[in-house]
Amino acid sequence: MVNLLKLLKLLFLRRRSKEGGVDVTKLKLPDRVKAPNAIGNSSPKGGIGKTTIQLESGVQLVLRGKNVIFIDWDIMSPRLSLRLLKELKSGPSLVKVLIGLIDITEAVQETVITGKRGSVTVYVVPAVTEEDIPDNINRLLEEMNEPSKVIKIVTKMKGSVEKLAKEYDVVFNDYPVPSWATYYTYQHLLSTTSSWINLLSDSNPNMIQLIAQLHQRYTKNIPVLGTIINMVRPTPEELNRAKEYALGLCKEVNGRVAMAIPFDGKLYDVFAEGLASPASLNYPPESSPALMLIKKFVDVLEEVVEGGSPPQKCEVFSPTH
């Protein structure tokens, strides 16, 4: 009996050492980026406006004279890259950076986006191009699943953001939606690449509670800047309730700003002929309560990316004041 146990132990140890003897839960990962100007949006809910709010904020920051770069981390659904670059056939991509083919600085694309009210230049690291499928994507997924390589890739993610944070006034991390199947990678990504995150939700109280718990459990090393309830039915009752929810979430996660953004057709980006340019380039902020709220949030963003302090306690933003 004892021998059998010994044998099992030996077999177990052999298997572990064949995998490199690495226990993924005990890896020493790098700390979060030190720069104050790397901002990410996070939510377990897909299609809740992470990309939209980030893009509108980014464009408004460019209109204020800031140099803004977006990193599209959403390799499976590179919507931000599509909105900014229209097509993604070949060329540099985040995938190529992460598997070591190119440096992040070589993956930056300059692009001019145009709306009815003018044009702005932004910079973007596209997530993926068609030529990355399937070989480069396969390589990345294999490496992310190899415990001995995880630290190397996470270190590269962080180093890449740090490099861009020195060159640009604002780095926006456009994260994908996490799922249980990739949560470990997601957690690493978030924990190292942003100086601040915003948490987004819809108005559903159960969802909001879940988001608070996920944050406490997995990402609480990253300070929360905004708690944002987005796509709220634009009635005073719904907006007031959503504002209360945003404040509740904000308090639970020690956030700094809470707001409820109404659903507003001006922010909806889908047209039959292609994706729309940002609302901030097409409409004056005063014409849209959603844009007005984003504008107030951009005041705070401007402050923190310059190394200043946001409100110390949750401040509730309403479109009317």
Ligand X SMILES: Nc1ncnc2c1ncn2[C@@H]1O[C@H](COP(=O)(O)OP(=O)(O)O)[C@@H](O)[C@H]1O
Judged by the rule CB under 6 A, the positions of this chain that interact with ligand X are 46-52, 79, 230-231, 261, 263-264, 267-270, 290
Closest among 194, 172, 196, 211 to 48, alpha carbons compared: 211
Q: Binding of Mg ion at residue 51 (CB under 5 A)?
A: yes
Residue 54 found at the interface with Mg ion (CB under 5 A): no
Structure tokens at 107: 């993956």
The binder of 269, among ligand X, Mg ion, none, by C-beta within 5 to 8 A per type, is ligand X
Query: Among 114, 110, 37, 69, which Cα is nearest to 280's?
Result: 114
Decide whether 50 or 96 has the Cβ nearer to ligand X: 50
Q: Which of 199, 210, 217, 174 is nearest to 84 (CA)?
A: 174
42 binds, among ligand X, Mg ion, none (CB under 5 to 8 A by kind): none
Token pair, residue 84, equals 């900014």
43 touches Mg ion (CB under 5 A): no
| Smallest gap from residue 174 Cβ to Mg ion (A) | 6
Of 51-59, 182-190, 200-208, 227-235, which part binds Mg ion (CB under 5 A)?
A: 51-59
CB of 41 or CB of 310, closer to Mg ion:
41
Backbone φ and ψ of 120, nearest 5°: -135, 155
**Least CB distance to ligand X at residue 110 (A):** 22
As measured in angstroms, the least distance from the Cβ of 279 to ligand X is 9
Radius of gyration of the chain (CA): 21
Based on CB atoms, which residue is closest to ligand X, 58 or 162? 58
Least distance between ligand X and beta carbon 234 (Å)? 9
Query: How far is Cα 265 from Cα 267, in angstroms, rounded to an integer?
Result: 5
Q: Which is nearer to Mg ion, 51 or 57 (CB)?
A: 51
Complete DSSP assignment for 170-226 = EEEEE-----GGGHHHHHHHHHHH-SEEEEEE-S-HHHHHHHHHHIIIIITTS-EEE
Which is nearer to ligand X, 136 or 280 (by Cβ)? 280
- Can you say how many angstroms the Cα of residue 293 is from the centroid of all Cα atoms in its chain? 19
Q: For ligand X, which is the closer residue by CB, 50 or 256?
A: 50
| Binding footprint of Mg ion on the chain (CB under 5 A) | 50-51
